[in-house]
Amino acid sequence: MASLLSVRDLKTSFFTREGEVQSVRGVSFTVEKGEMVGIVGESGSGKSVAAKSLIRLIQPPGKIVGGEVTLQGTDTLRLPEEELRKLRGNRVAMIFQDPMTSLNPVVKVGAQLTEVIRRHQKLGRKAARLRAIELLREVGIPSPEKRIDQYPHEFSGGMRQRVMIAMAISCRPELLIADEPTTALDVTIQAQILDLMKNLCDTTGTSVLLITHDLGVVAQVCTRVVVMYGGLVMEEGPVEAIFETPRHPYTQGLLRSIPKTGGGSREKLVPIEGTPPNLLDPPPGCPFMERCPHAMEKCLRLPPYYEAQPGHRSLCWLAEMPGSRDSGSAPQAADTKRKEGDS
């Protein structure tokens, strides 16, 4: 069965005065219906640019320079502008880190929510208001009949993010793209918002693409993880595989740099030394080479993807070394599509 979202060899650059910043350099992944997929990676790895590219939210001097994005049969990169506008907010919704910048501070929450509802659904004022109350209740806002007539500043950060989620899901999108939706919130609220998204995913069948630099967040709710670095997917796999048998030294580094959730383990946290590559002039080989403890001459060339298990692949030469559990698995060229049928 075809995936809900299929991204193939996506490339997005910013044409600045200094030159072409190659933010996304050939990214491929899929999202299935009702699935929650995480995109993780350090700051600057290209997560947000990749996510925005999916619905062409890239502003000049940014430009999508290659690839294919298919959302249930719709080729979003080639869709006429008008149809694309309909798709945004209808079939695909996006929420961002700071809900204060997305909500209008001088308009009551209810008015903003009903406006979104009416933009996409043919509902009268009253019906839209009722629907708005129902949505606020659905996202766990207490006394929604009262809250609907309040202004954004009367809501806490967590409650504002709930409002944003209510807006995003008001049209029952097929895909919800959430870019660092909980980063600004404290840990308890963060967990509640993530649970809420997971529940929505389970009950409505909406798929979620969750972008975060926090692997703990991913472990909590995602089924699959895409690890990005230097504009490329370094590793992708089921969440258990990524946490238990990470293949890429970059993923291993990321895991060593986060506190273990629960368990009370006192393992020392080790940050990854060094800085990400300059995407104005990215190295032709592995972008992690400079920081990698296993770097070898071969890494000057970009490896192909190696599949450790179906659906678990990594972009690293180590996978073909003798002794690696991967050895013998069929390599795939870095710029070729994932094998059909491994979804």
Interface residues with ligand ATP (CB under 6 A) are 14, 16, 21, 23, 41, 43-49, 62, 213, 279
Closest separation between CB of residue 318 and Mg ion, Å?
Answer: 28
CB of 11 to ligand ATP, least distance (A): 12
In angstroms, the Cα distances linking 115 to 68, 104, 241 are 32, 12, 43
Closest CB to ligand ATP among residues 278, 343 = 278
* Cβ nearer to ligand ATP, comparing 148 with 208: 208
182 is a site residue for Mg ion (CB under 5 A): no
Name the residue nearer to ligand ATP (CB basis): 31 or 318. 31
Only one of the segments 45-53, 130-138, 192-200, 286-294 lies at the binding site for Mg ion (rule: CB under 5 A); that segment is: 45-53
Among ligand ATP, Mg ion, none, partner that 246 touches (CB below 5 to 8 angstroms by kind): none
- For residue 23, the partner it binds in ligand ATP, Mg ion, none, with Cβ less than 5 to 8 A by kind, is ligand ATP
How many CB atoms are located within 10 Å of the residue 12 CB? 24
Cα(312)–Cα(192) distance, integer angstroms: 29
Query: Please, is 35 exposed, middle or buried when counting C-beta atoms within 10 Å of its C-beta (0-12, 13-18, 19+)?
Result: buried
Question: Which of 343, 337, 341 has its CA nearest to residue 7?
Answer: 337
Nearer to ligand ATP, 3 or 48 (CB): 48
The answer for residues whose C-beta is within 8 angstroms of residue 209's C-beta and 6 or more apart is 5, 31, 37, 39, 51, 54, 175, 176, 177, 178
Burial class of 47 by CB neighbour count within 10 A (0 to 12, 13 to 18, 19+) = buried
46/200 Cα distance (integer angstroms)? 27
Non-local (6+) Cβ contacts of 3 within 8 A are 30, 31, 32, 343
44, interface contact from ligand ATP, Mg ion, none, CB < 5-8 Å by kind: ligand ATP
User: Binds 49, which of ligand ATP, Mg ion, none (CB < 5 to 8 A, cut-off by type)?
Assistant: ligand ATP
- Which residue number, 43 or 101, has a Cβ lying nearer to ligand ATP? 43
14 binds, among Mg ion, ligand ATP, none (CB under 5 to 8 A by kind): ligand ATP
Q: Quick check: 48 binds Mg ion (CB under 5 A)?
A: yes
